[in-house]
Structure 1
Amino acid sequence: MQLFYQPDIMKGSHFLTEEESKHCIKVLRHSVGDTLDVVDGSGAKFKVRITEAHAKKTLFDVISHQRKEELPYYIHIGIAPTKQIERTEWFLEKAIEIGVDEISFFFGRHSERKNINLERMQKKAVSAMKQSLKYQLPIIKLYQDLPSLISHVPEKQSKYIGYVDFDNPLQLKEAAQAKENSIVLIGPEGDFNEEELKLALSKGFKKVGLGQSRLRTETAGLVACHTLNLINS
């Protein structure tokens, strides 16, 4: 199944964007009368029929639609972008494949990277959503530092911070519970500094481990995401 993306379909936007239209008409060779599966990124999938096939703007009529049942848990990963942006993009794509509701990027005190192209990340997220046949597009946000991110975390979220501390016996797989609205913070290559850790702990975050190995940033983010999905499976 090939998915197409139109976030405003419920608002009456019954057409594919130029990028989606080009792929639909020029690459996949669809034509008038063909049916497509279109997702809105908010949990709904629409069966549509092409009424006008054009590489710049393909029009369609909606035949039917279905909405996936809302899950009883919420997975939020806060992560510092890596120096090599390809590694961060890899994390983003794989986390979406596994299942994540929100990804918040932030720059830590030890971050080697101090900028990120959020628009590019959004496009990568859409591509990963379609590739993994999901109807829900994760929320992607950017914060300039950890305090800014922490200040926007809802009180109701269960809060965890991944930290390299082999004397800390509490693991995420033991601390997290099923059906939680949870966030896990993952630091940069140089980890969180003491000030950042103290701030997180003072705001209700629990320090947790992600196994017995020292993990790279993008690996740690993916392990956290996978662990929370397994707990809820």
Structure 2
Amino acid sequence: MTADADRLDQADARDESRLVEPTVLRPHTFAYDSAARARRLDDPVQPDATPILERLQRMAIVARRVTDELSIPGEVLIDVDTDIWRSATAPGYLRLFIADHGNEGTIAIVLTRFVIDHGVAVPDLIDHAFVEARSLPDWQEAEATRAQPGFRTEGSSMQTGTYVGDDQTWYCAIRYAAYRRGNVAYLLHATGTAPAREGAAFRRSIAAAVSSVRFDD
């Protein structure tokens, strides 16, 4: 177990990004640091209201953000319309897409690899998939669905809704999927965000792209 943790630590030593990660990404701007927001809450966070990445940190022996796709045993796939979305980069993110051609929006993909004890129940992570978005200002949820563990995953979730920030309404689509290969696990997190004024058709295209994100090994 120690050797596995050491190898993971060494493989990702160059990645200095933290696990505390905003769920919601506004176009060109990273927003809503979950840990900082939790510190502003007047009431203590209840056990079932723990943000997913905080739960992951408690579960893992060691965890690191993956930013180099060559370091994983497979690839992360997403179905995006390249006529609408252009690829970009940002520290700590595996993949990032920004809308072009008159649309405004962002799709970001984050992958976290972590080592666990064999008795740890990785599907428990998905119990916390909806927590962070529901704490956003004026959150209005449109969808919150969860898929149980299957042949390829340890469970996944899909969530859509709107919230208010910077004096306007934002739409976001959020997907989490958990994977386990022995005592090494992965949490795949995709978020698509756009101003709500972008219209229903563009919002549906964001949700479709986010829901298509998967880890293929």
When normalised by structure 2's length, the TM-score is 0.24
Look at both structures and tell me which one has the larger radius of gyration over its CA atoms. Answer: 1
As a proportion of its length, which structure holds more strand?
2
Where is the helix percentage greater, Structure 1 or Structure 2? 1
